[in-house]
Amino acid sequence: MRAFVAIDLDEDIRIELTRLQNILRSSDSDVKWVEPSNIHITLKFLGNINSIQLEKAKESMSVIAKGFKPFGLSLSKIGAFPKLDFPRVIWIGIDKGREELISLNHRIEEVFEKSNFRTTVHKEGRSYEPHLTIGRVRSGRNKDVLKKVIMEHDFSIKAIMDANKITLYQSTLTSDGPIYTVLSETK
């Protein structure tokens, strides 16, 4: 099964993200927008794991939960990877809670490594940057219009939430988009 560890979003933030995506859609660019119900903050992508790895992941999540303290989250600016002139991924950054997410990512990496959790996904060479992926650019159609919409709008998102649990998800890829199933939650 394909799995990842993430922080889920509350409904107020999902409503704000839907509003933002609707503004971006006005560019008529070729973007596959992530369903708001599927938007989350990925802490660690595990890739394809087997039942033994799943049990190790759940054990690691229990260890992480013991030191986990809830914290506030708010969103910041909109951006694109690798850059706005040549966007492949449209994202929203994290303002409040950014440092806590980075620390949590390091803790997850450390605990999973100590548990000898093995996966085919290797730790990325770049440092972890907390963000929400809201769309994936499929082609260059109207990319200049998309860039203009991003640069001309104030995409301030007022909603603030408490990050009070970490979730281990299974991701099942379908032609209609991914389906996420909760495998484990830690509070």
Which pair of structure tokens corresponds to residue 159? 């909603």
186 in Cβ contact with 61 (< 8 Å):
yes
Angle at CA 6, nearest 5°, toward 162 and 91? 85
Cα R_g (the chain), whole angstroms: 17
Active site residue 40: yes
Active site residue 122: no
124 in Cβ contact with 5 (< 8 Å):
no
Residues 6+ apart with CB under 8 A from 20: 78, 92, 134, 155, 157
Catalytic annotation, pick one of 106, 122, 131, 153: 131
- Give the alpha-carbon dihedral of 24, 26, 30, 34, to 10 degrees: 40
Which residues are the active-site residues? 40, 131
